[in-house]
Every structure is written in C-alpha cells, then in structure tokens.
Chain A
C-alpha cells in the first residue's frame, strides 16, 4: 500500500519491517489512521507519561488482549510508563449477589490477567487507575504544548483545554500504539489551525451555571467542533485555581460525552485563550447563546429511562470523572450541612464518591475523611460507568450529577443541589 504521508527514514524503515512484522503493523495502523484525517507527518510524543482508556478485563474484549499479547511477544511494550482508567470492581461499592456473580464470572472475568498485561506493558504503579490522571496527587499532568497519545475523552479534553497540551480524540489501542512506536500522526488538535474555534458560546446566565449542564448544552450544539466560551470567567475568575479546574473537569467531560468536543477555550481563563485571545476564533465562527432558559430546556429534555420513574433511588454515584481532593472536601461540608438541616445522621441513599486512589489516600490524611465516613458516604476508586454498564445494574434506579454517567447508562441526572437534597433527605 502506498502512503502520502512524509515519513522520516526511521519511520519508513519501521513500516517496511526493520523492527519486525508487529512494529511494522503498528506503524501501518497509525499511518493509515492519520491519513484519513489529512495527517502529513508523524510527530514525536513529548509527554512524560501516557494514559490508556482500557482498564477493564471485559470478557467481550478478548481480541484486544490477544493483540496486546502480540505486542508483548514482539518485545514492544509501551515506550512510556502510563496511567489507565479506573478499575471496574471494588468490594466497597454496594452490590447484590447476582451482580457479584455477573461482574466476576461473566463481565470482568479477565480482570486479573489484564492487570498483569498492563503491568508488563508499562503501568506506572498499582495505584495508577483513574480517569483523572492529571490530578497533582496522581502526577500524570502534561505541560503546555506537549504532544500526547491519550484517548480517554474526559482526560483528552482536559489536557487540551486546561493544560494546553496537544492530543486528538483517539480510540483505545491507538493510544497504546502511539506509545509503542513513539510517534502520533499530526492532524486535528495537534495543529494550530485545528485548535481554532468554530463556535463562539456566549454564557448569559443569571447565576453560575451547573458545569455538567453547560457542558452538555455546548456538546450537543457544537458536536466535535471547538467552542470559544465567553462570559464564564465572570463566574470562574481569571485564575486556574482548584475550584476553576474542578469546574472545567466536569464541564469538559460533559462536552465530550454529549458531543465529541476535544478542546474548548474559555476567554480570560484557559491558557491558549489567555495567550492568543480572539485570534483563536475562526472568521466564520457561529454563535450560540446560553441563558437560564436554554439550560432549563436542556435539563428538561434529558430522557428518564427508568421503568418506574417514581422509584426510590437505590444508589447515588458522584465522581464521573473522578472527584478532586477539593471536591471531596467541599462535599463533606455540604453533606454534613444537609444532614444537619434535615435532622438525619447518615445519608438516606447508599452514596458512593469516586476518586483516584492517590486522591483518596491524600483525602484519608485529612480530618475530612472521618467526617465524611460518619455521614455514611462510601469512597471508592471504581469506575461508575463500568459498574452500571450491564443488564442488572441498568435496572437499578441510580442517581448522579454526572452528565457522562447519565449519557452512557440508565443513571438519572440531578443537579448538585438536588442530589444533596435527595441523599440527605433519604430519597424523598
């Protein structure tokens, strides 16, 4: 097969088999993938670590594990150490016997073997399972302008937008292959032109918009395009502090799951918007105005796919993507205050807050951990999506303020305030 891409002598040699058939196929996969999007060259990955999306030993993905074995047999582990998405199982999270059997023996029956594969391929540590690898406590935080080979959609949009790194919305396996070969095809969000905004989004709400709803509205409108958001710095300020970063984490995940956004700019706040300003906006950019009524419309149009729409929730998940340390602390205060107000001692719905193992360890060193435990809230490193993504869990009435979890599962969305109300008043 002939390729249009201009490859270096080294890349061409690999493609022609100088490092064996397996690496030749890895290079061919990346070149063909890139050419479909107009890539003209392969560029070196410059981040210290990679991040992989496939964290689960799902029986259905057997052929993927066989492909990983081929890479290992060919002596082609990842060229970088990597973090990986969260584990699908945690005994701390409530489940019934039927769920336990389905999880362990049918769905995730290959979990143990797969974790061994990950270790052999270059897993950073036993604690490296999270979708928020960019948290300070985890340590996989790329710098401005660094080129990545990631694929987890919420991490890609955060790295591009909040950190100013450069990464396309890749698929699983492509992420690993980039790391194996050391190069990724240059197209889309790796180029200056691909990072320019197709949309101007004017935020004109009367109060700070819910991050998840705002992201959802923008994702549904712009799909895979790049939005330049105006008016949000009024609510978030002009500094990327913990509060702003947490907000943008949840906002971005919603843009990426309700649409396919891989990069957004926030005027006066995100690094490229600060540096380049309005020059980031394409001359023919369209405009989308978001006010209170628009957010209300988006919320009201979310489908509720519970069989019994009035069912009492059996579980509440918070933390998709995983919560930040500050978020865990803030929610501890909120839950305590809510319980005090309602006169209850513990949450009335089994509630799970999820975060990266390293964030949970750090949280455990603070006085907040004991206070949160006293409210009955459970903390876990689990991936709520993986818990929900099966026929048994999808019949459960589960509530969440995560738009991503709502989009991919039967979980029902409520705003943060509504969630707090429900869990502290017992689901009434």
Chain B
C-alpha cells in the first residue's frame, strides 16, 4: 500500500477499484454515448483514449492527469452524476482544470444524494504508481491509500 496526499476539491470518503487514464480525459467523447444510450456502466466511448476505451467508468476510482476537450465537459460530468453513472471518485495527478472543476463543483452544490469525492494535485508519481484493478481508499482530508 502507498499513501498519497492531495487537495480536496469535493470532500468525501470512498473505497473503489482503480481505473487509470494516463492521458487527459476527453469528457464529452468518453461519456456521450453512455449518457445518450442509457449505458449504466458508463462505458468509455473515446476511441482516442486507448487506456479507457470500452472500459466501465461508473463506480471506479478514475485516476487521471486532467480533463481535456470541449468546454461542455463540465456539463457532461454534472449529467453523469445526476444520472448515477459517475465514477466513485476522481483523482487528479495535476491541479484540476477549469472544466472538471466546474462539473464536479456543480454536481456537489446542486445534486442531492450524489457524492463523488474529488482530489487533485496528487503528483506525477501517483499517476505512475496506480494501475487498473488496484484498490484505493479516499479520506475526507485528501489522503488516499492505494494498493
């Protein structure tokens, strides 16, 4: 097990299985099909992301550097949360980008009964260490345990 410490964007506690995107997550491309066609697993539809394409994102501890792509990205995260198809948590190695920040804050402020802890600034070493299938425990204070 290894411990990492980041900044709390949305507080919360959760334990989940790791899913890693080594490259920036294109939010619209990744979630659009899942939201459009009722896929509760939120299977990643971004053909340009070989790490995630075809994999279930809902309920996973999504580890990533930042999000990229269309400025509708924040809306898409908000919608995924509203529809219950969001990752268990989002863990950013870099400081969060403005699109993901908007989406995760909007979900936390406007949606009742939806909790998706978000931690950022976990560092490059974090993203190098995590592998698909590992387990992660996220604490309220931004500490996480991975193993």
Chain A residues in the interface with B (C-beta under 8 A): 25, 28-29, 32-33, 36-37, 53-54, 58-64, 66-67, 70, 106-107, 151-153, 156, 168-174, 188, 224, 260, 303, 305, 385, 389, 391, 408
Contacts and interface: CB of A to CB of B under 8 A. Distances in A.
Contacts of A66: 82
B78 A168 contact: no
Contacts of A168: 98
Given A29-B106, A37-B98, A173 B75 contact: yes
17 contacts: A32-B109, A33-B98, A33-B105, A36-B101, A54-B72, A60-B79, A62-B83, A64-B78, A67-B110, A107-B36, A171-B72, A171-B101, A172-B71, A172-B75, A174-B106, A385-B70, A408-B69
Contact of A64 (B71, B75, B97): B75
A66 B109 CA distance: 15
Nearest to B26: A408
B102 A33 contact: yes
A70 B111 CA distance: 12
B30 to A, nearest CB: 12
Given A29-B106, A59-B36, A53 B82 contact: no
Nearest to B111: A63
A329 to B, nearest CB: 30
Given A32-B109, A53-B72, A54-B75, A63 B82 contact: yes
Given A53-B71, A62-B83, A170-B98, 10 more contacts: A28-B109, A33-B105, A54-B75, A59-B36, A62-B79, A64-B75, A153-B70, A170-B71, A173-B106, A389-B28
A53 B99 CA distance: 13
Contacts of B9: 36
Contacts of A67: 78, 106, 110
Nearest to A59: B36
A173 B74 contact: yes
A32 B105 contact: yes
Nearest to B10: A32
B74 A171 contact: yes
Contacts of B105: 29, 32-33, 36
A63 B78 contact: yes
A71 to B, nearest CB: 11
B36 A58 contact: yes
A235 B91 CA distance: 44
Residues of B contacting A: mostly: helix
B59 interface: no
A70 to B, nearest CB: 8
Given A60-B36, A61-B75, A152-B71, A171 B99 contact: yes
B127 interface: no
A29 B78 CA distance: 12
B22 interface: no
Contact of A106 (B36, B48, B73): B36
Given A32-B105, A36-B96, A391 B78 contact: no
Interface in B52-77: 68-76
A25 B75 contact: no
A17 B95 CA distance: 31
B71 A169 contact: yes
Contact of B68 (A173, A260, A391): A260
A297 to B, nearest CB: 19
B79 A171 contact: no
A171 B73 contact: yes
B35 interface: yes
A70 B71 CA distance: 22
A171 B109 contact: no
Interface in B103-120: 103, 105-106, 108-110
Contacts of B103: 171
Contact of A224 (B72, B97, B108): B97
